[in-house]
Amino acid sequence: MELCDLKALNWRGARRAGAAAAEAALGLDYLPIDTCQRRVAICNGADMLSLVRRQFPDDGALESFEGADAYAFLLRFAAGLESKLVAETEIFGQIKTAWREFCDRGSALACQLSPWIQLLFQDAKEIRSQHLSRLGSASYGSQTRRLLGDEAGAGPTLLIGAGQLAQSVAPWLPGSELWLWNRTRERALELARELAKREPARPLRVIEASADAELAAWRGARNVIVCVPGDAVQDAARVAAWQQRAERAGRVIHLGLPADGAAPWKGLPGLVSLGALFEMLQLQSEQRRRQFERARRACQEKALLRSLGATSSHPHSWEDLAAFDSL
Query: Residue 3: is its pLDDT beyond 50?
Result: yes
Domain match, 30 and 122 both: yes
Same domain (yes/no): 240, 316: no
For residues 231 and 259, the answer to whether their CB atoms sit within 8 Å is no
Q: What is residue 319's predicted lDDT score, i.e. its pLDDT?
A: 41
274 and 144 inside one domain? yes
pLDDT per position as a tens digit, 298-313:
999 999 999 987 555 4
The pLDDT value recorded for residue 172 is 86
Dist. CA 265–CA 91, nearest whole Å? 27
pLDDT band at 41 (very low <50, low <70, confident <90, very high): very high
Output the pTM of the full model: 0.57
By mean pLDDT, which of 22-26, 140-144, 215-219 is the weakest? Answer: 22-26
CATH number at residue 132: 3.30.460.30
CA distances from 20 to 32, 102, 105 (A): 8, 9, 10
Tell me which amino acid residue 62 is: L
List the beta bridge partners of residue 65: 8
**In a shared domain, residues 274 and 292:** no
Instruction: Verify that 259 and 314 share a domain, yes or no.
Output: no
The pLDDT value given to residue 134: 62
Cβ neighbours of 217 (radius 10 Å): 21
Residue 155 has pLDDT above 60, yes or no: yes
Domain count, the chain: 2
Are residues 206 and 194 both part of a single domain? yes
Tell me the one-letter amino acid at 226.
V
276 plus 144 within the same structural domain: yes
Residues 29-38 have a mean pLDDT of 89
Q: How many whole angstroms separate alpha carbon 72 and alpha carbon 3?
A: 11
The per-residue pLDDT for range 164-197, each reduced to its tens digit, is: 889 989 988 876 799 999 999 999 999 999 999 9
| Banded pLDDT at 35 (limits 50, 70, 90) | confident
Question: In this structure, are 176 and 97 located in the same domain?
Answer: no
CB 209 within 8 A of CB 184: yes
d(CA 38, CA 15): 7
Find out whether the peptide bond into 264 is cis, omega within 30 degrees of 0: yes
Do 193 and 76 lie in one domain? The reply is no
Do 42 and 71 share a structural domain? yes
Closest CA to 287 of 81, 127, 135, 129: 135
Average pLDDT over residues 89-99: 91
Q: Average the pLDDT over each of 143-157, 159-173, 276-290 and give the range with the smallest value.
A: 276-290
In this predicted model, what pLDDT tens digit does every residue of 232-262 receive, in sequence order?
A: 789 999 999 999 998 778 889 998 887 656 7
Local confidence band at 327 (pLDDT 50, 70, 90 cut-offs): very low
CATH of the domain at 257: 3.40.50.720
Owning domain of residue 294:
3-136+286-325
Question: Model confidence at 112, in pLDDT bands (50, 70, 90)?
Answer: very high
Give the mean pLDDT of the chain.
83
Same domain, 311 and 230: no
Task: Say if residue 58 is in the same domain as residue 98.
Answer: yes
Q: Note the pLDDT of residue 262.
A: 76
